[in-house]
């Protein structure tokens, strides 16, 4: 019953209602941005955006769905080279809409395979011979071996990299995954907003008795330092969970409902062939969303602790903003110099960047990738802070004699 009324207190506050409505409206707005960001050219070269564009684009690209065999790749390369010979870079819109758009992802995959550690260069595709195209997967595996040697600083790391790369499906099975790729970006941006909102809501739970001068009645009650304080912690976690998943669920539901879910099982390596995260686009999206949830839990725990310690929410609500909005700028400046800046909490909301990074961490003989370290580290910190939140709140007024 305490928990029920603790939640009622949160959801009945006017400012919280405004914040929650804003969060839900933003989910709709972000869905709109995601949906309209997909562009599809028709056979006449007219570019379409809007609710039907993503599905049309997927249908167009899915002409090439299935295993990307050497023969299929050769067909794509041949077609693309012919267009290049004929038009150079100035490809007419109708030609792009008619043919090139459908295999653009495959071209991008080939270019990425051929330029493992250098700038993306479209010209490599035009110089590719028939023999080289036939041997593309041999080249791919050869490059993987080189990546293992280059990025594996120790034997353990090399072994780890080999193990991860061995999981990559070669040849990959293609299916258009534009909706998933687009949504990771929007989910991460929306995740920042949700983390800040969750921090705001959670901070209020531990500050409102002091803010409203209701602390005296609260601390004179039977369960003030036991069940009541515990319920506050649980309410903070519950509100974070509800708000995050409802918000993210709404964003996903609207966006995928409109754009479709084509490409859930498409390997992410089609976009980043040398990524050390062998996963599908669907898993990629889930990973980003779960990392966002951990970021929200962290925001809630930190703000609850600060509010419980300081008896006010004003400083606490600024912390998530600093962690997720200011920290990325600081991190970017120092990431190359200090390992710490590769493990800052804002990276939980930049999975897109992390999965491209080949950085490994090693403790003894155990090797970790960045994202699992971030997930484990901040999930553990979020949980470990909770007893301190409880203790700080319960300790109010009870200084030793």
Partner 1 sequence: MGLKLDNVSKEYAGVQAVDHVTYSMKRGVYGLLGVNGAGKTTLMRMLCTIIRPTHGEITWNGRDIFEAGADYRQILGYLPQNFGYYPDLSIYDYLMYIASIKGIRPAAAEKRADRLLGQVGLSRYKKRKMKTLSGGMVRRAGIAQAMLNNPKILVLDEPTAGLDPNERIRFRNLISELAEDRLVLLSTHIVSDVEFIANEIVLMKDGRFFFTGTAEELVSSMGEAVWNCTVPKKEVNHYLKQYPVANVKTIPGGAELRILCKEKPTEHAVHDDATLEDAFFLYFGEKAGDKIDTEV
> What is each CA distance from 322 to 192, 306, 316, 346, 355, in whole angstroms?
11, 14, 10, 9, 23
Among residues 235 and 323, whose Cβ is nearest to partner 1? 235
Among residues 2 and 107, whose Cβ is nearest to partner 1? 2
CB of residue 393 vs partner 1: minimum separation in angstroms? Answer: 13
The torsion angle over the Cα atoms of residues 95, 99, 101 and 107, rounded to 10 degrees, is: -120
**Residues lying near partner 1 in the complex (CB under 8 A):** 1-2, 4-6, 8-9, 12-14, 208-209, 212-228, 397-401
CB of residue 227 vs partner 1: minimum separation in angstroms? Answer: 7
CA dist 263 and 78 (Å) reads 25
The pair of three-digit structure tokens given for residue 272, joined into one six-digit string = 């980043």
Q: Which residue intervals of 266-350 are DSSP H helices?
A: 281-310, 318-321, 327-334
CB of residue 250 vs partner 1: minimum separation in angstroms? Answer: 24
Among residues 131 and 400, whose Cβ is nearest to partner 1? 400
CA-based nearest residue to 258, from 16, 7, 61, 31: 31
CB of residue 166 vs partner 1: minimum separation in angstroms? Answer: 56
CB of residue 394 vs partner 1: minimum separation in angstroms? Answer: 11
Per-residue buried b or exposed e for 42-64, using 16+ beta carbons within 10 Å of the residue's own CB: beeeeebeeeebbbbbbebbeeb
CB of residue 401 vs partner 1: minimum separation in angstroms? Answer: 6
Nearest 5°: phi and psi at 286?
A: -60, -40
Residue 200 CA to its chain's centroid (Å): 21
Surface-to-core class of residue 212, CB atoms within 10 Å of its CB (0-12 exposed, 13-18 middle, 19+ buried)? exposed
Among residues 5 and 87, whose Cβ is nearest to partner 1? 5
Among residues 64 and 218, whose Cβ is nearest to partner 1? 218
Q: What residues are paired with 369 via a beta bridge?
A: 360
Among residues 52 and 312, whose Cβ is nearest to partner 1? 312
CB of residue 195 vs partner 1: minimum separation in angstroms? Answer: 24
CB of residue 208 vs partner 1: minimum separation in angstroms? Answer: 7
CB of residue 395 vs partner 1: minimum separation in angstroms? Answer: 11
CA dist 354 and 332 (Å) reads 13
Nearest 5°: phi and psi at 279?
A: -160, 165
CA dist 104 and 134 (Å) reads 19
List CB contacts of 298: < 8 A, sequence separation 6 or more: 195, 323, 345, 348, 378, 381, 382
Among residues 47 and 221, whose Cβ is nearest to partner 1? 221
366-369 and 360-363 as β-strands: parallel, antiparallel, unpaired?
antiparallel
Among residues 363 and 398, whose Cβ is nearest to partner 1? 398
Among residues 166 and 221, whose Cβ is nearest to partner 1? 221
């Amino acid at each position: 019953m305490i928990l029920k009324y603790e939640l009622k207190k949160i959801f009945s506050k006017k400012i919280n209602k405004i914040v929650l409505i804003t969060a839900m409206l933003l989910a709709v707005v972000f869905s709109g941005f995601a949906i309209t960001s997909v562009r599809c050219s028709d056979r006449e070269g007219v570019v379409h955006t809007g609710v039907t564009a993503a599905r049309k684009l997927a249908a167009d690209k899915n002409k090439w769905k299935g295993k990307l065999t050497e023969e299929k790749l050769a067909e794509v390369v041949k077609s693309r080279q012919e267009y290049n010979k004929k038009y150079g870079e100035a490809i007419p819109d109708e030609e792009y809409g008619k043919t090139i758009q459908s295999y653009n992802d495959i071209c991008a995959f080939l270019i990425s395979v051929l330029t493992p550690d250098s700038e993306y260069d479209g010209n490599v595709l035009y110089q590719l011979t028939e023999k080289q195209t036939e041997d593309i997967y041999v080249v791919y595996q050869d490059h993987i071996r080189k990546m293992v040697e280059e990025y594996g600083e120790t034997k353990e790391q090399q072994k780890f990299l080999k193990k991860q790369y061995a999981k990559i499906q070669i040849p990959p099975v293609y299916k258009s995954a534009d909706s998933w790729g687009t949504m990771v970006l929007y989910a991460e941006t929306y995740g920042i907003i949700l983390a800040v909102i969750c921090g705001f809501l959670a901070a209020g739970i531990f500050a409102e008795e002091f803010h409203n001068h209701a602390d005296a009645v609260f601390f004179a009650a039977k369960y003030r330092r036991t069940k009541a304080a515990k319920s506050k912690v649980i309410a903070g976690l519950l509100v974070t969970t509800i708000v995050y998943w409802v918000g993210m669920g709404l964003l996903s539901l609207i966006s995928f409902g409109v754009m479709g879910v084509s490409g859930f099982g498409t390997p992410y390596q089609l976009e980043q062939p040398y990524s050390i995260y062998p996963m599908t686009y669907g898993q990629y999206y889930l990973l980003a969303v779960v990392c966002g949830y951990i970021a929200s839990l962290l925001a809630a725990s930190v703000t609850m602790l600060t509010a419980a310690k300081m008896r006010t929410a004003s400083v606490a609500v600024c912390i998530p903003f600093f962690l997720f909005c200011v920290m990325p700028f600081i991190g970017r400046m120092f990431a190359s110099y200090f390992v710490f800046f590769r493990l800052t909490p804002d990276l939980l909301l930049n999975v897109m960047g992390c999965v491209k990074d080949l950085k490994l961490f090693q403790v003894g003989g155990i090797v970790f990738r960045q994202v699992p370290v971030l997930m484990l580290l901040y999930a553990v910190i979020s949980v470990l802070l909770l007893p301190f939140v409880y203790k700080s709140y319960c300790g109010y007024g009870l200084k030793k004699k």
